[in-house]
């Protein structure tokens, strides 16, 4: 049985993967990506980001996203949709002009309205806001904070609730919150306030981009998830990968396998955690080598499209 089959038996809702458009011409890759027994859930790595979905103001394009969402629907894989509001991968029209606060709020609502309606019944969850915090727990000094102020986060959730289906889970998603630290505690405080005031948030996604030798332990991840379990929220590991400082060795692959298995186990054991998504499953197409020079081999399948020790560590643990 594949990872999703095993994950479901262990009580998760899904084991999933991100898929990028650049590999869709590779049949061997696509066959695994949409193999329902390996992956019960799919996230488009890029296609639902602002620069692709609204490349010119009020002109919407879902070509890239649909190349991944449509086959996922056909294969009965649920979809996590990523992402409405982020500081990165924004179109030029948005970043190269100074909008006023009311203008930018209008732009935000219009963007969320169109995307949410286009995918009304197609997303199990939406990452409504992505990476809004700095590591020290302050808010990232980006376009949204500078022009709208801290309330942009709350506004995004309210707009998302207004236009998505009532059963779409609305998530806050970030990296570096897989331990109890300044960042996860600051987020917990904001989420707690949202819950108290009825701001519509359903879940928190821990991206879980880890590095061999520096990764959070099982206990770290469980405690971090528990910050949000305690608030009654759903949680998930949304972008799991474990990069290796190259050159790779058998010992590093073993450590990587342990990190993958411990991370998935933390989700299985934590009541609120519904599933684990890996941020692609094939080493050559991972975002890691181009983003972190000197690092690579972060995924479950190697260059030859063969399953790695990390794959078997997860499947043995489940």
Dihedral sign of CA atoms 34, 35, 40, 45 in order: negative
What distances in angstroms separate CA 158 from CA 16, 114, 164, one per listed residue? Answer: 27, 15, 10
CB-wise, 29 or 313, nearer to ligand XIL?
Answer: 29
- Choosing from 38, 54, 115, 131, the catalytic residue is 131
Alpha-carbon gap, residue 217 to 226, rounded angstroms: 14
Task: Provide the minimum distance between the beta carbon of 46 and ligand XIL in the complex, in angstroms, as a whole number.
Answer: 5
Residue from 207, 221, 253, 277 binding ligand XIL (CB under 6 A) = 207
78-85 and 41-44: which strand pairing? parallel
Least distance CB 301 / ligand XIL (angstroms) = 16
Q: How far apart are CB 172 and ligand XIL at their closest, in Å? A: 12
Q: In the chain, which ranges are E strands?
A: 14-19, 41-44, 78-85, 125-130, 169-174, 203-206, 209-211, 234-245, 273-278, 295-296
Non-local (6+) Cβ contacts of 171 within 8 A are 125, 126, 127, 128, 201, 202, 203, 204, 205, 234, 236, 238
Site map 128..167 versus ligand XIL, x via CB under 6 A: --x-------------------------------------
Nearer to ligand XIL (CB atom), residue 45 or residue 66:
45
Residue nearer to ligand XIL on the CB measure, 186 or 288: 288
Residues between 33 and 62 with contacts to ligand XIL, criterion CB under 6 A: 45-46
Tell me the closest approach of the beta carbon of residue 5 to ligand XIL, in angstroms: 26
Binding to ligand XIL (CB under 6 A): which residues in 273-312?
A: 287
Which residue's CB is nearer to ligand XIL, number 152 or number 309?
152
Active site residue 239: yes
Report the distance separating Cα 315 and Cα 318, nearest Å: 5
Residues contacting residue 182 through CB under 8 Å, at least 6 positions apart: 135, 136, 137
Task: Report the residue number, 210 or 287, with the smaller CB distance to ligand XIL.
Answer: 287
For residue 266, the minimal CB distance to ligand XIL (Å) is 19
Euclidean distance between CA atoms 74 and 87, whole angstroms: 32
Q: Which of 13, 15, 16, 20 touches ligand XIL (CB under 6 A)?
A: 20
Number of residues that bind ligand XIL (CB under 6 A): 7
Task: For residue 49, give the 3-state DSSP assignment.
Answer: coil
Q: CA 98, 104, 108 angle in degrees (round to 5)?
A: 140
Give the residues across from 17 on adjacent strands. Answer: 42, 278
Cβ-closest residue to ligand XIL? 287
Under rule CB under 6 A, residue 241 binds ligand XIL: no
As annotated, the active-site residues are 131, 239
Residues lying near ligand XIL in the complex (CB under 6 A) are found at 20, 45-46, 130, 207, 239, 287
């Amino acid at each position: 049985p594949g990872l999703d089959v095993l994950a479901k038996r262990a009580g998760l809702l899904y084991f999933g993967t991100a898929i990028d458009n650049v590999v869709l011409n590779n049949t061997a890759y696509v066959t695994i990506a949409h193999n329902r027994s390996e992956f019960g859930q799919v996230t488009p790595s890029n296609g639902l980001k602002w620069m692709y979905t609204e490349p010119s103001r009020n002109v919407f394009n879902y070509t890239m996203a649909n190349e991944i969402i449509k086959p996922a629907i056909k294969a009965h894989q649920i979809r996590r949709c990523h992402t409405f509001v982020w500081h990165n991968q924004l179109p030029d029209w948005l970043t190269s002009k100074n909008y006023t606060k009311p203008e930018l709020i209008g732009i935000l609502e219009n963007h969320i309205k169109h995307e949410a309606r286009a995918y009304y019944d197609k997303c199990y969850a939406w990452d409504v806001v992505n990476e809004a915090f700095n590591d020290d727990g302050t808010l990232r000094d980006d376009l949204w904070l500078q022009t709208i102020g801290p309330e942009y986060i709350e506004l995004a959730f309210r707009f998302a609730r207004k236009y998505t289906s009532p059963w779409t889970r609305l998530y806050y998603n970030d990296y570096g919150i897989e331990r109890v630290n300044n960042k996860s505690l600051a987020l917990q405080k904001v989420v707690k306030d949202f819950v108290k005031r009825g701001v519509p948030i359903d879940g928190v996604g821990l991206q879980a981009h880890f590095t061999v030798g520096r990764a959070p332990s099982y206990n770290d991840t469980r405690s971090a998830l528990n910050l949000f379990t305690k608030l009654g929220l759903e949680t998930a590991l949304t972008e799991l990968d474990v990069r290796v400082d190259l050159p790779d060795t058998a010992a590093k692959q073993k450590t990587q396998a342990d990190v993958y298995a411990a991370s998935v186990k933390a989700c299985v054991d934590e009541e609120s955690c519904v599933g684990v998504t890996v941020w692609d499953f094939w080493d050559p197409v991972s975002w890691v080598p181009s983003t972190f020079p000197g690092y690579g081999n972060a995924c479950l399948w190697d260059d030859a499209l063969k399953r790695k020790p990390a794959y078997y560590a997860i499947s043995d643990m489940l």
